[in-house]
Structure 1
């Protein structure tokens, strides 16, 4: 059926999705996990911490906490605490209705899809299972799978390699400026989740434009 989509002159042959804040409404849980893990250590977070860390890797978040909040734990020890807090609330992770609806729409049409995340592989696997998207052979890139994380293009370029496609044949769905920069640097067309305000962030389209493509398919 994917060949039928191509006959309709779709501008892409596959879709790569970010997970946190895109397929999964997981950002509130990420925020809560940070608060709980730091509070247990007697540390205070600034009010803007979540916005400052959106789309960042665990390594980057750890460095930020050391610099801004006086965190003294090693990266490994901090990650263990934060992941424990995240997994304790995993039942609160829910799918973003519009995004997950498009995923299932494209899946029914036979369009190849995959996920690209800056999160640890443990979080990626847990979120995919929670969303019911843990497919055999799914192309899924985590922070553990690449040398450089978003905003570097490597995660999206690896996704393209595993799909066997050129970057300009792939559409990306993102929610953060970090992810947008990575996908743009990889040479992919980008659709952004509702609520993203992207003045000065280059060429991208709203998710509604991708929804229109799904309807046309």
Structure 2
């Protein structure tokens, strides 16, 4: 962490926004529309996983027969129907504003499909297209593979040592660390102590 910090890469769901409850309900709603009843704790073990990975689990373990494209369309509609229930995390948006004022580049790296990323940007008060994003459609492999973060680094044209990641899931942490990035985890992350820093420590690295 010797290089000055020049950019922040944010995960979106569960990091910038309190959207995981809505994701959970959207899976239940979409599955019900297909005649499937998911266990109550279905979503708990899938936080941070990409849509295609979850679709594969639904097919293998719960009998989903829809194609990925059809399922994604149904699930996206279910999520949008509840979009007003998605709210930003103040501690995240406060830090976003501070980093913006300090002149840092900021981008969003998400395992969610592009449509959900765009809907969430609007909930954050950001215009889609005004912020660099890497969504699941932009890469061949989602988190925990490092490809999404490596793609973001390449687009920024910055070395990993000058960039910090903010995450909330084990999959996101694994992806960022495999890309050689320093990771700050949100306060509600309950993973074991490891090669990551607490979110509160990031304030100390901001310029000014």
Using structure 2 for the length normalisation, give the TM-score. 0.94
Deviations 1:42-91 (A, max 9, x none): 21112321122111111111111111211111111111111100011111
User: Separation in 1 of the partners of 2:23 and 2:145?
Assistant: 22
Deviations 1:89-110 (A, max 9, x none): 1111110110111001100111
Pick from 81, 84, 90 the counterpart of residue 91 of structure 1. Answer: 84
1:132 aligns with 2:125: yes
Contact 2:3 2:161 in 1 (8 A): no
Deviation of 1:195 (Å)? 1.4
**Who is 2:199 aligned against?**
207
Gaps of at least 5 residues in structure 2 are none
User: Separation in 1 of the partners of 2:105 and 2:166?
Assistant: 14
Q: Matches of residues 2-81 of structure 1 in structure 2 within 5 Å?
A: 11-81=4-74
Deviation of 1:198 (Å)? 2.3
1:193 aligns with 2:206: no
User: Separation in 1 of the partners of 2:21 and 2:128?
Assistant: 25
> Residue 207 and residue 16 in structure 1: after superposition, are their counterparts in 2 closer, same or farther (change >3 A)?
same
Deviations 1:22-49 (A, max 9, x none): 0011111101101111112221112321
User: Separation in 2 of the partners of 1:12 and 1:208?
Assistant: 16
User: Separation in 2 of the partners of 1:43 and 1:183?
Assistant: 34
The size of the alignment, in residue pairs, is 207
Using structure 1 for the length normalisation, give the TM-score. 0.90
**Who is 1:5 aligned against?**
none
Runs of 4+ more than 3 Å apart? none
User: Separation in 1 of the partners of 2:57 and 2:128?
Assistant: 34
User: Separation in 2 of the partners of 1:204 and 1:11?
Assistant: 18
Deviations 1:93-150 (A, max 9, x none): 1101101110011001111110000010111111112211236552210001111111
Gaps of at least 5 residues in structure 1 are 1-8
